[in-house]
Structure 1
Amino acid sequence: MSGSRRPPSDPGQRSRGSGRSKPTAPATADRARALALTPVSRETLERLDRFVALLLTWQQITNLVAPSTVLHLWTRHIADSLQLLEFVPGAQIWVDLGTGGGFPGLAVACALAQKPGAHVHLIESNNKKAAFLREAQRVAAAPATVHATRIEEFVTSFEGRADVVTARAVAPLKSLLDQCFPLLGKSGAVGLFPKGRHAELELREARE
C-alpha cells in the first residue's frame, strides 16, 4: 500500500487524527472473555494488544476480518487461535497457510515469542494482507516470517522443518489436505485445521 491511503503504523493512531483509539465497552468485555478462555502472560498480552490495535486501524481501509466479527475480535479470532496451542504444547515451528488478517498464525506467534527456537511461517498470497502482516509482526515483535506467495508454491518449495501446519477458513478440508500433503508428509507435522458448522460433512468428504 502506498501514498496517503497507507494506514498509520502507530497501532493506537486513528486514521482521521493523532489521538489514541479508545476501545468500546463491548470490545473491552470481549477481550476479558477471551483472556478468561485463553489466559496469557503479561508480555504476550502486550504483543496481542499492539497487534489488535494495528488490525483495527488497517481494517478501516482493508478487509482483514469479516466486519461482523470486529466487536468480537478477541473471542472470535484471538482466543480461537490461541486454543490451538493446547494441542501441541511442545511444537516450535509452525506453518500457517492463508494467514489473512493474522489468524491463527500471528496470534500464535505472539504467544510463542518467549519460547526459545519458536517461529511461525505466515503464508499469504494477497499483497495487501501480506503488507499488513509484515507491519503487525514488526509492531508485535513476534517470531514470524511473512511469505507473500500461494500455498501451493510454498508447500512445494519449503525445505525447512515444521512441527505444526495450520489453516483457518482457507478451503474445504479435502482440498486443504491435498494442497498441504507434501508438507505434512515431508516433515511429519501435525495438521490443525479448525472447522465450523460443516466440520462433519467436510470430514466425510475428505475420507472419500
Structure 2
Amino acid sequence: MTKDSRAAALALAPALKAIERELAIYADLLRRWQATINLVAPNTLGEVWVRHFADSAQVLDAAPTAEVWADMGSGAGFPGLVTGLLLKGRSGGRVHLIESDQRKAAFLRAVSRETSAPVDVHAERIEKMLPRLAGEVQAVSARALAPLARLVEMAREPLKNGAKGVFLKGEEWRDELTAAERLGNFTYETIQSRTHPRARLILVHSPSEANFDRTN
C-alpha cells in the first residue's frame, strides 16, 4: 500500500480525511487477518485505500441523510463498516453489519473495537436478520454479494418501509438493472462510480419515496 494510493483515495473521497486514522488501523488489521482468513481478493490488498475505502465511501454520499443502515453480507466491512466510520461523529448514526460467517464477523468486531465504529455485528443469515430491522433502518447497502434482483428481493421489507437501497455494481450493471426492473414495485437511479469508469451505484426506492430520472 503506497502513500500515492492513500492520497488518491482521499482525493476521490474527501470525507475519508476525517477518519484517516481509523482507516489506517482498519487497513493494518485487514492485512494481518488476511493471512488466515480470505477477507478480500489478494490482488486488491495493495489497493485497499482506493479499491475498498474510497469505493465504499460513495455509498453514504448517495444517501447522505440516512443515519441507520443495514449492510448485507458485510464480509470484510465493505461498504458497511466504512459507512459506520463516516457516521461516527453523527448523533444517531449506526450501521447493522449482517455477516453469517463467524470468522468474518469476528474480524468486523475487532475493527469496530479498535476504531470505535458505531456498528452492530450480526452473525446471522440475511433473510433471518434483515426483516427484524425493517422498521428501523433508513438505508440498505451491499457490495459483491448477489445480482441486483436478488438484493432487491432480500431487502424487500425495509425498501417497502421506505428505506433506500444503495448497491455497488460492476461492469454488468445494465443487465442486472434490466432484470431487477422486471420485479416491479421499485424505482431505480444510477450514479457513476468515482473509482471505476464502468461501475455504477444503483439506488432503489419505493415509488412513494422518490421519483428519480435514471442516469447513464
TM above 0.5, one fold? yes
Q: What percentage of aligned pairs have identical amino acids? A: 43
- Which of the two has greater strand per residue? 2
The residue matched to 1:99 in structure 2 has which SS? coil
Kindly report which structure 2 residues correspond to 1:42-121, keeping only aligned pairs within 5 A, or say none.
43-121=18-96
Partner of 2:180: 206
What residue in structure 1 maps to residue 186 of structure 2? none
Paired AA for residue 178 in structure 2: R
For each residue in 1:20-68, what CA deviation from the matched residue of structure 2 results, as whole angstroms up to 9, or x when unmatched?
xxxxxx5321111001111136551111111111111101111111101
Residue by residue over 1:71-90, the C-alpha shift from the partner in whole angstroms, topping out at 9 and shown as x without a partner, is: 11111110000012222222
Give the distance between the partners of 1:41 and 1:71, measured in 2 at CA.
18
Larger CA Rg, structure 1 vs 2? 1
Counterpart for residue 111 of structure 2: 136
- Give the corresponding residue for 1:189: 163
Q: Which runs of 5+ in 2 are unaligned?
A: 183-216
Mapped partners of 1:41, 1:157: distance in 2: 31
Give the 3 Å change call, closer, same or farther, for CA 182–44 of structure 1 in structure 2.
same
Quote the Cα distance in structure 2 between the aligned partners of 1:132 and 1:181: 28
Structure 1 portions without partners, runs of 5+: 1-25
Q: For 1:146, what is the secondary structure of its paired residue? A: strand
Query: Corresponding residue for 2:15?
Result: 40
Which deviates more, 53-62 or 81-90?
81-90
Write the distance in 2 (CA, Å) between the matches of 1:55 and 1:41.
17
Structure 1 residue 123: deviation in Å? 0.4
Task: For 2:18 and 2:181, locate their aligned partners in 1 and report how far apart those are by CA, in whole Å.
Answer: 42
Q: Residue 149 of structure 2 is aligned with which of 149, 174, 180?
A: 174
4+ aligned runs moved over 6 Å, structure 1: none
1:163 paired with 2:151, answer no
The match for 2:98 is 123
- 1:148 matched to 2:157: no
CA distance, structure 2, for counterparts of residue 151 and residue 84 of structure 1 = 19
Tell me the distance in 1 between the aligned counterparts of 2:100 and 2:60. Answer: 25
The whole-number CA distance in structure 2 between the counterparts of 1:147 and 1:119 is 13
TM-score, normalisation: structure 1? 0.84
Cα separation, 2, equivalents of 1:163 and 1:39:
24
1:182/1:31 CA distance change after superposition, 3 Å: same
Secondary structure, in 3 states, of the residue corresponding to 1:65? coil
TM-score by length of 2: 0.81
Q: State the 1:205 CA deviation.
A: 1.1
Partner-residue secondary structure (3-state), 1:194: strand
